Every structure is written in structure tokens, then in C-alpha cells.
A and B are shown apart, each in its own frame.
Chain A
């Protein structure tokens, strides 16, 4: 950081308005997340924010895959759930002690730990698997689907079916997955007591840090050659193919990145919220992930994150004020945004900036392309949430 500039050229690159604003934005976000929120919020609200940050991690991935890559993934619950269940299995086994059997297995099952639970006894293996399992699954699935040029609505339906199947599988395997009850009642997280407020704050800080890193990764991907290619695939897949690139590879990579982000979000969700159940990973939550992304602005860097956090936050507060009416607010907001702001709330900010006195942005690193890309797939319908 103390090195001196070597070329004025590079200095000029760095001083571009988009870049400085991005850095300032990250610094501001870091201050808000690490300094302001822990001071202002009660432990309960901080815990909620931590949960929202985990959901926002899924949103970052969806922003990349859907907003930039045009892949309408209606099934991110699968990867979220994989990460969450792997972590939950580890926490259950750790609570049971070496060689121990998780409580629910002796209650509802055979009282024996199945072989596929055994790797999760090791913390290191768990962390590795949380990244590897979703990455391999998404890689295989993505490759199989994208090389066959399945896209648009067909891909969306396929991904949604996957989420439905995953939830049904979990429910059916009650003896080894806890069924509809899911897994909960964790006492410790890698040795730290989960009921201790200090440790709960630590979990929040970890979630905040991981989310910031993910946003940085997303940004680097967006401004890289890969990011340009991704947008090109979204806007004209055939042209990209004619130019000699392989769109299937590009899509698979972004699908894997989104899957890993969702899995990490799920893995952190478990110790923070204290429970994971099939109701958190099926079709409805998978669509729920998309709502925040769409409202925030799917093609922008921060739109999905802020949209996701804002929607979760609004959902909680409105539900607290109007316990039986909150779902209408969410539906109405979604319809309004899709109808009048297809680019999400982020496009509102941009529109104001362009119309206002602020100088025009020739190149904006945060969102190199137009905020409202042509949508290759239909917008998710609101029927996903049963009344």
C-alpha cells in the first residue's frame, strides 16, 4: 500500500470516478457493518441482520448468474440447503461428541449414524465439502444442461424442479435428515457456545466479512474479461459462439460460482439462525431469494445485496406490525417493481443521477451495461408463495 505509482497511466485508471466510488462504497459498507450496526442494534436485531446477510450471499450469486448471465435460477435453495445441511450435520455430530449419535436419530431412526454423515465429524472436511459438493453438483448439472443448450424458461423450470425434488427428498429421509423438522438445537459452533451473545456477535462479523468478500469477488468477476463475456452470452449467446467462445463453459462457471455463494450463505445461516428445515430450501424460499434480487436491481453489483437485505428487513418489520397482512406488502412491492422498474430500485438511483445535476458517468465500473437488460426468461410469478 505504500508503494509509489509507476505509471501515470495506471494512476489515471485508478482515479476513474467509478472506481473511487466503488472503493468508497466498500469502505462505507465495511464501516456500517463492522462498526455502526453492532453498536446500534440489539443482540436480537443483530442476529436478524446476520441472517439477512446470509440470504444476501445467495443474492450476490443470483445477481451474477441471473442479472449478468441471464440464467434465471429458480432453484438456489438446493445449494443453500446443501451448505446448510452439511454444516448442520457437522454441528449435530459435534454436539453428540466423538462417536456419538445425534438425538433425533435415536428418537426417529435406527440410532446409527449413516455412512454419509461420517465425513462431517471433521470440521475441516465439512468446510471443504460445503464448497466442493455444491460446486461439483452445479458443475455437472450446468455442463449437462448448458451444452445441450437448455436455456430461458426451460432452465428456470428445471432448476425449480430440482429445488422441489430436493425438499421432498429431505422430508422423505426423516430418519437421517430430520424430515420436516429439519435439524436444529445446536449447542456449539466449532467449540464456541452458540447461546453466548459474544459468540453470536462473532458469527455476525463473520457473515458480514464473508458477504463483503463475496461482493468483491462479484465485482472482480464483473469487471473482468469473463464478466464482459458473461454479459455477451446473456445478450447474444449465438454471436458469442460464432466468435469462437463456448457459452456453455461461461454459463457453467457462473452457475458454479452462484452455487458456492449460496452454499456458504446456507452454511453460515445454520449457526446464526439455529435451524435448517426443508421449508428453507424448497421452491418457495428459492423464489424468495429472487424477489430481493429483482427488487434491488439484478444487473447491478449492489442491487441484489441491498435488495435482498431490504426485502428481508421489510418482511420482518411489516410482519411484526401487521402479522396477518405482511405478505400482501411483499406481493405489492414485487408487482410494482416488476411493472414500473424492471431494472429494480437500482435503476431509480441511476435515472435520477442521469437526469439530475450530477456529471454524467462515461464509464461506470459498478455496472458496465445498461441496468435493464432484455430478459431472456419470464419473470418469476408471485404464485410461488401460497396464501
Chain B
């Protein structure tokens, strides 16, 4: 019937349709006014189905994009943990059914897939995430949907969401012990090198505060864009600054270029050691052992950790994925996270989010790295800090240990020098 519309110009037909759209729109918009006010009631309902003999959980790692090389390893160890748990009778007698999603190395996709896992797949918990950006992107999703995320990577702290369990180290379990170690070694000046994103910037903020309180000079602070591979300028600055040590928060490919340039410039671990917090066993092969041997790292787990649990973990992992594979801290933290969730669920005797949160405090696991225990207040876990030295074999060997697990303190409230940070 619109054909009869005698538009005066060719434009009018289109305009009237536009008007129709607007009318439709306002009609729909009006509905929102009333229920818009009391919105919160609509959320928070869960569709998790625990009536059968299986329960769904989600694994959300980047299987494509720039982070895939790292996150695939975490995904592998999560799969290993799930297979072990299922072989052992599941959780509360229910077999774990894994729903895998690809975060595509993009924060936006992480948020989308997290929503999908929670609302469409109705998973009881999600395991994954790597970059701080991906965690920050997922945080509002898990909080608004009231679901659980287990995040397995060391990070910059200053966060504690009731809906996230952080099974990697926070700053007082990695960066602060690393600084303690350097200070103990008589280091009086530091040069900071990092990728330009939130973790290095926050880490360096903490390092600066620590240095100011401990008579350490920070003689330089340089940032390179993520993926940057030309380090001649930065290495020259490091060389001429002549610090006692370099604190390295570079991420990914940049480390390859940085360490090659570093050894090319004639700098050696003996005269100016580099302490890195983002290089694990997995990355050493890519950088080349000859470029990094003798340098220091700070983590909570190394493949060489001497515990029976670790021997079993490494053996099981290599049996599943190949003898040439190595195990690293984030992989181990992810492996732990699934067992910790199992522990919480079994303590709560329920899969419900509120019950799991309630039961979380004090749940512990004999992890490959040693005993880890969940802190119910901040949802981080107590972990032992290890400073390691990269060996000729491409593995990292413990040089110094905090001997016992350090209680997590994501906001560094127990440190006087850190009071102005957050």
C-alpha cells in the first residue's frame, strides 16, 4: 500500500520510512521507563543445571591471536586437570563437561564469550584469561551475572572482586619478594624496562615506591609498545645508566629482541643481571637459551621444583602433550585453580556461587609448587615466592625461596612504603 504514497520528491518515501522507524522506536523506548527503575531484580538468576550427573564448566583462553602461544599452554593444563578430576570421579560425583571458547586475544571477545558461557551454556565456573585487559573486560560480566572466574596469571594487584579467584601471584608474592632479593644482594640502583601497558606501569609504580623507601636509586624507566622489537636505544640507555640490576616487565616477543640486544651490547648477567617477571619456561625457548642463561626470574613455580606433586604433574603433562613440552607458572596456577574450585565445591557441597564463595576461605591444595591456600577475604591464594636463575638446560632453577607461603595482599596494605599507591 505504500506504493500509493504520492511523495512529492523521491526523498519523501525514504523520509516517511525514517519517520516510521522513529515512531516504532519511541514506542519501544517508552516501555523501559517503568521497569528501568528497579532493574537489579532481573539479574542474578542462574541457569546452572546440576540435576544430572555432569556439570558444565567453561575454559576461556585465547586460542587465536597474539596471546594464543601463551594461553594455549594454560588451556592444555586446564584440560589435564579436568581429565584427572574426571578419572577420579568428578566433583561431588558429577563428571565435568568442558565448554571451550576462544578469547581471540581481544578483551571485547573475552567479555562476549564470558557472557555466552554464563548465560547460554550455564557453566558453574569459568577458568581462563591472561592479560590484565582480558580480566578487566570480564570482571563486570562476572559481577553483574554473579558467576565465578578463576584467573591463573600473576598480575599487578590492586583488585579483589568477590566473583574472581586469583590463583596467580599478586604483587607481594612476586614483585616485592624479587625486590627484597635484589636488596639482599646489595643492589643499590635499578633500571626499569617494561612493555607499555597496565601491568608494567603498575609494577613500576610499586617498584619506585619500594626503592624510595629502601635507598635504591631508580636510574631509568623505559617503556616499549607491546610487540616492539627494536631495543637498541633502550639497551644503550641501560648500558650508559650502569645500574646494579635491570627489572624487566617486558611481555611477549619484545623479550626476544631485548635480550638479543642486551647480550650483543656486551652486557652479562654477572655485571648487570636482569630480573624478569614475565619470562617462564615456555618463553625461554623462543628467546634462545644462549641469550638469557644466567638471568633471574621471579615466579611461584618452576618445572624444576622438587616436590612429589610436581614430579607427577610434569610427568602427566608430558605424557599427554609430548616429552618436549615444559611446564610453567601460569600453567601450574591454572591446574591448581581447577583443583581449588573442586575443593571449594566439595567443602560447600554445592555448586552455587554464594555457597562456593562462603566455603572458599582456607581451602588448600597440595599443588606442584607446594601447599596453596585460598584467602576468603581477597580471593587470592597464599603462595611461596621463588627467585630462579635460568640454566643452560633452558629450565629455571630456584636460587632463593621465601620458604613458606606468603599471604596475599593485593592492595599492599601491610607495607608502610606502599600506602600512597592505591
Contacts and interface: CB of A to CB of B under 8 A. Distances in A.
A100 interface: no
A47 B115 contact: yes
Given A108-B202, A181-B133, A280 B28 contact: no
Nearest to A51: B112
Most central of B65, B107, B131 by chain A CB within 10 Å: B107
A326 B132 CA distance: 24
A172 B158 CA distance: 20
A222 to B, nearest CB: 11
A205 B116 CA distance: 21
Contacts of A171: 196-197, 225-226
B241 interface: no
A274 interface: yes
Question: Which DSSP category, helix, strand, loop or mixed, fits chain A's interface?
Answer: helix
Interface string B16-36: 111011101100110110011
Nearest to B7: A14
Interface residues of A, number: 72
A320 B132 CA distance: 23
A376 interface: no
A140 B10 CA distance: 32
Contacts of A6: 6, 8
B87 interface: no
B39 interface: yes
Interface residues of B, number: 67
A246 B216 CA distance: 65
A15 B105 CA distance: 51
Given A181-B107, A198-B42, A220-B11, A324 B64 contact: yes
A5 B108 CA distance: 52
A176 to B, nearest CB: 13
A366 B16 CA distance: 18
Contacts of A226: none
Contacts of A3: 6
Interface in A1-34: 1, 3-6, 10-11, 13-15, 19-20, 23, 26-27, 30, 34
Contact of A30 (B4, B21, B106): B21
A248 B334 CA distance: 57
A245 interface: no
B63 A324 contact: yes
A185 B139 contact: yes
Given A5-B6, A10-B6, A23-B17, A275 B111 contact: yes
Contacts of B131: 180
Given A184-B140, A205-B25, A209-B21, A219 B14 contact: yes
A168 B225 contact: yes
A13 B299 CA distance: 75
A198 B36 contact: yes
B120 A199 contact: no
Contacts of B158: 107
B28 A184 contact: no
B22 A195 contact: no
A386 B65 contact: yes
Most central of A205, A206, A279 by chain B CB within 10 Å: A279
Contact of A14 (B5, B18, B24, B196): B5
B6 A11 contact: yes
Interface in A180-203: 180-182, 184-186, 191-193, 195-199, 201-202
Given A13-B10, A14-B13, A174 B198 contact: yes
Given A43-B119, A182-B133, A195 B43 contact: yes
Interface string A293-326: 0000000000000000000000010011001101
B102 interface: yes
Contact of B36 (A168, A193, A205): A193
A23 B108 contact: no
B13 A174 contact: no
B119 A44 contact: yes
A199 B36 contact: yes
A145 interface: no
A232 interface: no
A179 interface: yes
Contact of A182 (B4, B36, B66, B137): B137
Most central of B6, B11, B111, B197 by chain A CB within 10 Å: B6
B201 interface: yes
Given A180-B226, A196-B39, A202-B29, 10 more contacts: A14-B13, A23-B3, A27-B17, A107-B158, A108-B202, A179-B197, A179-B198, A180-B197, A181-B137, A196-B42
Interface of B: 2-8, 10-11, 13-18, 20-22, 24-25, 28-29, 31-32, 35-36, 39-40, 42-43, 63-66, 68, 100-102, 104-108, 111-112, 115-116, 119-120, 131-133, 136-137, 139-141, 144, 158, 196-198, 201-202, 225-226, 422
18 contacts: A14-B6, A23-B2, A26-B17, A30-B24, A42-B119, A44-B115, A171-B225, A180-B197, A182-B137, A192-B39, A195-B42, A195-B144, A196-B43, A206-B29, A274-B140, A274-B141, A277-B108, A277-B133
Q: Sort A-B residue pairs by CB-CB distance and give the 5 closest, nearest first.
A: A196-B39, A193-B39, A323-B102, A324-B63, A180-B197
